Structure 1
């Protein structure tokens, strides 16, 4: 009796492993594993632990501005590099310089990157609320730009998606994605955040408004 129970239990376990394996293979084959992992990672985003410390950054900028007022004028080392060409959804070539004078939210992402997928809904929400005040540059690093455009359309985000038209300037080269760069209205690189974040957070919106 005990042997029969053990055999049945073992058989049941192997069946479960088989089902898990089939599901895993199916997800990988269809590319949906990225979205499943990204969905799971949104729970971590909800804690706010991954968000940039914008209060600390704002205070540091304030102190820096006060120090500048007391010293001789010198070149700003945090000046953003606007010599960067982009290709939009329609295939038109643009320059980052086209957005000069506005706060720029530039996010480097890819459809194969789970953390990128995890933070995308918060970016879409931020774009919906601040798209008229802030220039959004969603820079796809997919080898096939059509995949990025198809993903955006399928999800209904309607985000301003671009592909790099050439090599990334040294300032925007990152060892991790997603990486987000925030450029203030005066053309200074105000924030570089590597990793995912909840960009619909009220503190982050307040931070963007302070850069206008």
Structure 2
């Protein structure tokens, strides 16, 4: 055993893997404590200030019909049939409290929300947190001073909303077409994006 531990080859392997083990341990600790999301928010927010992440309408390859056949619930646990939003432009953002990139783009969404005619454009901030975390979601929104409408799934979500990553933002036209889909953090508080929403 002693010979094994003093072998130059073993120490060479240990020296090679030590930085990787350390990095994995640090990431695991940050993830477990929730600090990783905080670091992500700071980094994403800094990028947003440069203008690199300014949103521009990103139409999907094929303008598909949006499936309105599902329900959401508000933070007071009232069930809302999504069909009630038909005929209006919908800004639909999928997010979660534990998602750093989601949290980073929320101030820009709030600023956009404050400038938009809510008779024409409906905001649906759909939290994908667990159903039992409604209070956590509500507290987060209140603490940040966000006033846009926040909802959570009420059971089934259509296939279109089963996205591989969040944040993901859809814009649905009054005619029921998905006219824009953006995965990842973006700054939505731009004159171009506001004009895009208002001209539909």
TM over 0.5: yes
Q: Hey, what does 2:123 align to over in structure 1?
A: 136
Could you tell me which residue of structure 1 aligns to residue 25 of structure 2? none
The answer for unaligned runs of 5 or more in structure 2 is 1-28
Please give the residue correspondences for 1:1-212 in structure 2 after superposition, counting only pairs within 5 Å.
29=33, 31=34, 33-54=36-57, 57=59, 78-130=64-116, 132=118, 133-143=120-130, 144-211=133-200
Bigger shift: 38-47 or 86-95? Answer: 38-47
Q: Is the 8 A contact 2:56 2:192 kept in 1?
A: no
Q: Is the 8 A contact 1:109 1:141 kept in 2?
A: yes
TM-score, with structure 2 as normaliser: 0.76
In 2, the alpha carbon distance for the partners of 1:27 and 1:53 equals 31
CA distance in 1, matches of 2:94, 2:169: 6
Q: Aligned to 2:110, what secondary structure does the other structure show?
A: helix
**How big is the alpha-carbon RMSD for the aligned residues of Structure 1 and Structure 2?**
2.8
Contact persistence 1:183–1:191 (CA under 8 A): yes
2:50 match: secondary structure: coil
Q: Deviations over 1:75-129 (max 9, x none)?
A: x961111001000011100021111111101100001111001000001111111
Residues 92 and 79 (structure 1), Cα distance of their counterparts in 2 relative to 1, 3 Å cut: same
Q: What stretches of structure 1 move > 2 A for 4+ residues in a row? A: 25-29, 31-37, 46-54
SS of residue in 2 equivalent to 1:46: helix
How many pairs were matched up? 172
Distance in structure 2 (CA, Å) of the matches to 1:77 and 1:53: 16
Q: Can you list the C-alpha shifts for 1:56-83, whole angstroms capped at 9, x where unaligned?
A: 74xx99xxxxxxxxxxxxxx96111100
**Structure 1 gap segments, 5+ residues each:** 1-24, 62-75
